[in-house]
Amino acid sequence: MSLLELQHVTKRYGSLAALSDVGLEIGEGEIVAVIGPNGAGKTTLVNVISGSAPGWAGAIRFQGRSLRGLKPHRIARLGVARTFQIAQPFAAMTVLENVVVGGLYGHAEGGVRVARERAEELLAELDLAGKADEPAETLSAPERKRLEIARALSMAPTLLLLDEVMAGLNAAEIELAVELVRKVHARGVSILLIEHVMQAISLLANRVVVLHHGLKLAEGTSAEVLADEQVIGAYLGSRRRP
């Protein structure tokens, strides 16, 4: 049984189909990357799975259970956490408080004490312990991305949806981000990775799914999809020939 399964998923905004008949599976322990041009439907896919974009058609199942009609906090408590393409910390709250909030959101039991203990452990693991008592608004862009991941991990997810956590990072920062994703994966977390940085995708992903105008264009290894004529056309317009 797949950990996550999407069948014929369509999401419309008025007359615009942001996703059209999309099928996708993620097995336990997999890292599956979703790539595509801007406007391809990648973030809509994350929003649909996480419950923040209701009203979709088709079927979405997590560990065999339908996600239809579930609110985002219910989906989070089933074991699905997500980050945002643009980091959205509670700016006036401390870094530690941000992660505590994530823990309370993802778990009904345990209370503040347990959430705080979990938050302190995650900040240490993600090299943010020294920033714990600082307002989140003081963090640099790479630090905010690490905070996004810490807050998502505080929900103790089985599946983590990472929405362009490497966007805007330089080469050295991307290298560190790749190692961070590997560290998260080593915790036993399966990952859906929305990303544009092909170097990172080649290093991390077991499979790559390509979206274009809301349609699933291709699926395979990173080498297979980058050699696909349709994928080349979607990104470059046409294959360059000698």
pLDDT given at position 108 = 57
- Note if the pTM is more than 0.85: yes
| Structural domains of the chain, count | 2
If asked whether residues 183 and 143 sit together in one domain, one would say no
Percent of the chain with pLDDT over 70: 95
For residue 132, being part of any structural domain is answered with: yes
Residue 242 has pLDDT above 50, yes or no: no
For residue 85, being part of any structural domain is answered with: no
pLDDT band of 240, cuts 50, 70, 90: very low
- The 3-state secondary structure of 161-182 reads EEECCCCCCCHHHHHHHHHHHH
Residue 236 has pLDDT above 70, yes or no: no
Structure tokens given for 204: 């991390």
If asked whether residues 175 and 202 sit together in one domain, one would say yes
For residue 49, being part of any structural domain is answered with: yes
Residue 61 has pLDDT above 60, yes or no: yes
Q: What is the pLDDT of residues 170-191, one digit of tens each?
A: 999 999 999 999 999 999 999 9
**Residue 125 backbone phi and psi in degrees, to 5:** -65, -35
If asked whether residues 196 and 168 sit together in one domain, one would say yes
> Which residues of 63-212 form beta strands (DSSP E)?
65-66, 80-82, 159-163, 190-194, 207-212
Q: What is the pLDDT of residues 99-152, one digit of tens each?
A: 999 988 877 567 898 999 999 999 999 999 999 999 999 999 899 999 999 999
If asked whether residues 151 and 170 sit together in one domain, one would say no
Domain carrying residue 102: 90-156
Percent of the chain with pLDDT over 90: 76
Lowest mean pLDDT among 109-118, 155-164, 208-217: 109-118
If asked whether residues 55 and 173 sit together in one domain, one would say yes
Mean pLDDT of the chain: 92
pLDDT band of 235, cuts 50, 70, 90: low
Name the DSSP class of 13. E
pLDDT given at position 162 = 96
Task: Report the DSSP pairing between strands 57-62 and 31-35.
Answer: unpaired
For residue 176, being part of any structural domain is answered with: yes
pLDDT given at position 234 = 75
CATH of residue 228 = 3.40.50.300
For residue 218, being part of any structural domain is answered with: yes
If asked whether residues 56 and 2 sit together in one domain, one would say yes
Which of 102, 129, 156 is the last residue in one of the domains? 156
Better pLDDT: 222 or 24: 24
For residue 26, being part of any structural domain is answered with: yes
Residue 241 has pLDDT above 50, yes or no: no
- Kindly give, in sequence order, each residue whose CB lies less than 8 Å from that of residue 132, ignoring residues fewer than 6 positions away: 94, 95, 96, 120, 123
Which of 156, 174, 191 is the last residue in one of the domains? 156
